[in-house]
Amino acid sequence: MKTFTAYVEWDPETKLYVGIIPGIPGAHTQGATLDELNANLKEVLSLCLEENKEEVNYLPYFVGLQQIEIAV
């Protein structure tokens, strides 16, 4: 078993949760609920890892998040 970290946002325009798993090309999806998003992320992550089996040992490590504040 391996644990991955997903970045999740709420899109007010589409009214959907959007999730990405940084460092895994193609590992992004959306869902109407957090449960649906979680299931979709598991499915897309499995597909991405299956497609790139040789790279599984070189996956990135989650370090943390930083919020950057600027004037807009």
What CATH number is associated with residue 21?
3.30.160
How many CB atoms within 10 Å of residue 66?
5
Range name among 30-39, 40-49, 57-66 with the lowest pLDDT average: 57-66
Domain that holds residue 45: 7-58
Residue 54 lies in a domain: yes
Residue 69 lies in a domain: no
Amino acid at 25: P
Residue 41 lies in a domain: yes
Residue 63 lies in a domain: no
Domain count, the chain: 1
Residue 71 lies in a domain: no
Residue 70 lies in a domain: no
Give SS3 for 45. Answer: helix
- The rounded mean pLDDT for the chain is 91
- Residue pair 41/29 in contact (Cβ under 8 Å)? The answer is yes
Residue 28 lies in a domain: yes
Q: Is the pLDDT of residue 55 over 80?
A: no
